[in-house]
Amino acid sequence: MSFIKDITSSVTFLMEKWSGVDDTVVAKFAQAAGRPPAPGTFDGMGDLGLLMFLLAGLAGGFALGYFYRGLFGEKAGRDKAGGDVV
Amino acid sequence: MGIITRRIAVNGARLAAWFMLAFALFPERAAAMHIADGILPAGWAGLWYVVAAPFVALGLRGMRVQSARSIHFKPLVGLTGAAMFVISCMPIPIPIAGTTSHPCGSALTAIIVGPTITALIASVALAMQALFLAHGGLTTLGANTLSMGVIGGFTGYAVFHIGMRLGLGAWASAFAAGLLADWATYAGTAFFMATALAESGKGFSMFLALLAAFAPTQVPLGLLEGFVTAGAYGFIMRRRPEILTVKTAVEPV
């Protein structure tokens, strides 16, 4: 019966609107077990975390576009003007 | 500036703008299967490093061998690596649960480049997220690599090829691979948490409790990951089917 109670109470963790399950599940179980997560690298440093997210989005997006273009952009290694893709 | 260079820059900038917008809209910590620093005791964190290391080493070897065999392989790893990095820190709102979580991209990556290279890619993506985005952690990198890269990657790869051999067809096999790899990843996280944190004799009940807590978010998100995996696989099949045969020289189907 105890694990049914655990399961029921664990589902109530999910009541915080739009929080990630890292906070609503992983962190809460860890805190309950006495091992809360350590602060992140840029926690409490203003907008630095947001800047890092923006840079990661830029880098990830550029890499996706660059390699996508190389692999799928032109058929059979030729561009639309008819020249060979180097 | 040549026409090709200009197109690369325009396409890259366009995609980057979309991802910048997405990240700007959801700037909070959004990791989900990621276990943060401080949660796992040192002994458990070290054990999962040791278990994950051989898979990453095999991935490095596979990368070297396959890059020598095909000029398409490095761009393929670059594309899948960037996709996994972005996908695995992108919070998706799940209205029926009222929370957010992220897909993993492990199944799609494993189908395209193989499971051991998926483990390698996951370790790099997770290390960057831990260093710069407060997602996961460096001490828990072994556990996170195991859940997303190894468990997710091997599950997706195995399910896809079992599905193909059973004659389910590419779309259904890719869908099942995406779905089950996502769920397996979160089950892996639940296992690592339960083994390390539960009181003696309560590991299984904590594991079930964690699965139940993940379920309202991950059941629909797993379905989404299944559709995305099937859609992406179908796109590659139509556009450049030869890409899907690049890896098979080293990792047998």
Q: Render pLDDT for B225-246 as a digit per residue (tens, 0 to 9).
A: 999 999 999 999 998 888 887 6
What is the predicted pLDDT for the residue at A74? 64
pLDDT of residue B71: 86
Q: How high is the pLDDT of residue A5?
A: 60
Burial class (CB in 10 A: 0-12, 13-18, 19+), A3: middle
Q: Which candidate, B75, B141, B81, places its Cα nearest to that of B106?
A: B81
Residue A65 has its nearest CB partner, among B15, B28, B206, at: B15
Q: In this structure, are residues B86 and A61 in contact, taking their beta carbons and an 8 Å threshold?
A: yes
> What pLDDT, on a 0 to 100 scale, did the predictor assign at position B129?
92
Burial (CB count <10 Å: 0-12, 13-18, 19+), residue B165: exposed
Better pLDDT: B117 or A8: B117
B252 pLDDT above the threshold of 60: no
Measured in angstroms, the CA of B77 and the nearest CA of chain A are apart by 9
Residues 6 or more apart whose Cβ sits within 8 Å of residue B126: B34, B88, B135, B136, B141, B144, B145, B148, B149
Is the pLDDT score of B201 beyond 90?
no
Chain B touched by A64 (CB under 8 Å): yes
Q: B90 to chain A nearest CA, in Å?
A: 10
Residue A65 near chain B (CB below 8 Å): yes
Contact at CB, A56 and B75, closer than 8 angstroms: no
Percent of chain A predicted with pLDDT > 90: 19
The CA distance from A77 to the nearest CA of chain B, in Å, is 11
Gap from B252 CA to chain A (nearest CA, Å): 23
In a mutagenesis test of the B interface, which of A21, A28, A62 is the best target, namely the one with the most B β-carbons within 10 Å? A21
pLDDT confidence tier of residue B203, bands split at 50, 70 and 90: very high
Please, which pLDDT band fits residue B165 given cuts at 50, 70 and 90? Answer: very high
Crossing angle of the two packed helices B115-132 and B73-87, in degrees rounded to 10: 50
Task: Tell me the C-alpha distance between A19 and A35, whole Å.
Answer: 20
Q: Three-class SS of residue B114?
A: coil
Over 50: is that where the pLDDT of B108 sits? Answer: yes
Distance separating alpha carbons of residues A43 and B29, to the nearest angstrom = 10
Whole-prediction pTM value?
A: 0.81
Q: How far apart are CA B179 and CA B102, in angstroms?
A: 13
pLDDT band at residue B7 under the 50/70/90 scheme: low
Q: Please report which confidence band the pLDDT of residue B118 belongs to, taking 50, 70 and 90 as the band edges.
A: very high
DSSP B106: H
Q: What is the CATH number of domain B36-248?
A: 1.10.1760.20
Work out the pLDDT band at B24, boundaries 50, 70, 90. Answer: very low
Computed over every residue of chain B, the mean pLDDT equals 86
Portion of chain B with pLDDT greater than 70, in percent: 84
pLDDT surpassing 60 at residue B44: yes
Interface check A78 vs B, CB under 8 A: no
Judge: A37–B216 Cβ closer than 8 Å, yes or no.
no
The amino acid sitting at B13 is A
Q: Which amino acid is at B120?
A: L
pLDDT at B74 over 50: yes
Most B CBs within 10 A among A2, A4, A19, A26, hence the mutation to make, goes to A26
Answer whether residue B87 shows pLDDT above 80. Answer: yes
For B11, the closest chain A residue by CA position comes to A65
CA–CA separation, B184 vs B67, rounded Å? 29
Mean pLDDT of the B186-212 span? 94
Q: Domains of chain A: which residue ranges?
A: 1-38, 41-75
Predicted interface score ipTM higher than 0.85? no
Token pair for B243? 């890409």
Comparing B146 with A70, which gets the higher pLDDT? B146
Does pLDDT of B23 surpass 50? Answer: no
Is A53 close to B24, i.e. CB distance below 8 A?
yes
